[in-house]
Amino acid sequence: MIKQCYETSSKGLLSKGVSRVLDCAVEEHAVRDVPEVVDYTTSLVNRVLGKNTSLSLDSSECIGTTHTIYRFRIVLEKGKYIGVRVVVRGRTIVRVLLTIPMGLDIGLHYQGSIYNPTRELTWKQSITQTDPPRGQVYVDLPVVYAILGIPEVDLRSWRLSINGLVENSAVYTLPELYDLGVETVRTSFHCVTGWSVRELEFTGVPAEKIIEVVKPLKSVEWVYVESLDGYTTIIPFTEFNNLKSLIAIEMNGKPLDILHGYPARLVIPQLYGWKSAKWISRISFMDKYIDGYWESLGYHPRGRVDLEERFKST
Ligand SMILES: Nc1nc2c(c(=O)[nH]1)N[C@H]1C(S)=C(S)[C@@H](COP(=O)(O)O)O[C@H]1N2
Ligand SMILES: [Mo]
């Protein structure tokens, strides 16, 4: 029933006590109702764990209009549980992820493979574009997310480092970012869960400006972003290097407020919102891919809104 399994992790999950994630793409399995989701997942998980366990439902949520996620837990030791996330597309189970807590000594039975993100990035025929984009609804105000909490920011010590495979690495204070020259873009913003907000105005340093200054090497394919709260994400270099990509320091004509990522956040409008990391502290240009926070939980390496790239598919 399993197509491919990868082990992964991310900094943010480590700080939440999860030491590793087993992400399994499964042979598409049709279900008629939720109890069938539970049955299927239980037998898959028990095979992987080599135990007879039962699942209890934590929560479930729709992601756009195409997907649903069911989150279960398996309690094995007091206070320690394995999280199970099931990604369902329509009425088809497509992925099952296990989050393994630190200090839980347990063997996993599966055939491992290596995740290859470039297979997900092939050129795709652009689908007829709608407004809002497919699977999205417009709301008036953005929902605020802080999956790892809202960090405390001290502007005296805050710096944005730009490094990795570049000719000139750089470190900026907030005034130094302003000095690089700022531009304003008006854009809609789309969260993978299905809400969009029209016409937000962001002011900041264009990604193109940063690229011009630090000069990434030819081998660069990925941009890895780290935040003060431990959040991370990864963006294909070609998407980062986009006219509308910004290191934003203002929103709607005012300095970013702490909820929206003060002192600086990324804004990559053509990608789902999780790629627009808030409270950023480091941007690294890399030749290799590694999962960020949501990517380690099955979300897409690129996340293009127009192609509805919500989850990984391999
Ligand atoms: N550091 C950090 N950045 C983050 C997140 C987060 O939880 N922590 N959530 C992401 C998600 S899923 C979305 S949709 C947007 C939401 O931006 P907002 O909170 O400004 O509305 O922020 C993204 N950046
Ligand atoms: Mo999001």
- The residue contributing the CA closest to ligand 1 atom 11 is 274
**Percentage of the chain modeled with pLDDT above 70:** 100
**Percentage of the chain modeled with pLDDT above 90:** 95
For residue 76, the model assigns a pLDDT of 87
For residue 222, the model assigns a pLDDT of 98
Helix, strand, coil in percent for the chain, rounding step 5 = 15, 40, 45
Over range 69-90, report the average pLDDT. Answer: 94
> Does the pLDDT value for residue 12 go beyond 90?
yes
Task: Answer whether 260 contacts ligand 1 (Cβ < 6 A).
Answer: yes
Q: How confident is the model at residue 227 (pLDDT cuts 50, 70, 90)?
A: very high
For residue 27, the model assigns a pLDDT of 95
> Does the pLDDT value for residue 126 go beyond 80?
no
| Total residues found in the chain within this entry | 314
Rounded Cα distance between 127 and 135, Å, is 13
189 alpha carbon, closest ligand: 1
Task: Answer whether 278 contacts ligand 1 (Cβ < 6 A).
Answer: yes
Task: Answer whether 250 contacts ligand 1 (Cβ < 6 A).
Answer: no
Helix (H) and strand (E) counts for the chain?
5, 17
pLDDT, mean over the chain = 96
DSSP 287: S
> Does the pLDDT value for residue 205 go beyond 80?
yes
From residue 155, alpha-carbon distances to 31, 181, 219, 267 in Å are: 52, 19, 34, 20
> Does the pLDDT value for residue 124 go beyond 80?
no
* pLDDT tens digits, one per residue of 23-71: 999 999 999 999 999 999 999 999 999 999 999 999 999 999 999 999 9
Rounded Cα distance between 293 and 231, Å, is 6
> Does the pLDDT value for residue 241 go beyond 80?
yes
- The residue contributing the CA closest to ligand 1 atom 8 is 146
For residue 61, the model assigns a pLDDT of 97
Task: Answer whether 147 contacts ligand 1 (Cβ < 6 A).
Answer: yes
Task: Answer whether 138 contacts ligand 1 (Cβ < 6 A).
Answer: no
- The residue contributing the CA closest to ligand 1 atom 15 is 273
Rounded Cα distance between 62 and 190, Å, is 15
**Candidate from 69, 254, 274, 297 with most ligand 1 atoms within 8 A of CB, to mutate:** 274
What is the 227 CA–ligand 2 centroid distance (Å)? 16
- The residue contributing the CA closest to ligand 1 atom 23 is 274
Task: Answer whether 195 contacts ligand 1 (Cβ < 6 A).
Answer: no
For residue 51, the model assigns a pLDDT of 93
For residue 110, the model assigns a pLDDT of 95
pTM of the model as a whole? 0.97
> Does the pLDDT value for residue 1 go beyond 90?
no
* pLDDT tens digits, one per residue of 158-192: 999 999 999 999 999 999 999 999 999 999 999 99
Phi/psi at 173 (nearest 5 deg)? -90, 175
DSSP 165: S
Long-range CB contacts (within 8 A, 24+) of 124-130: 124/307, 126/306, 126/307, 127/306, 127/307, 127/308, 129/306
**Candidate from 275, 276, 281 with most ligand 1 atoms within 8 A of CB, to mutate:** 276
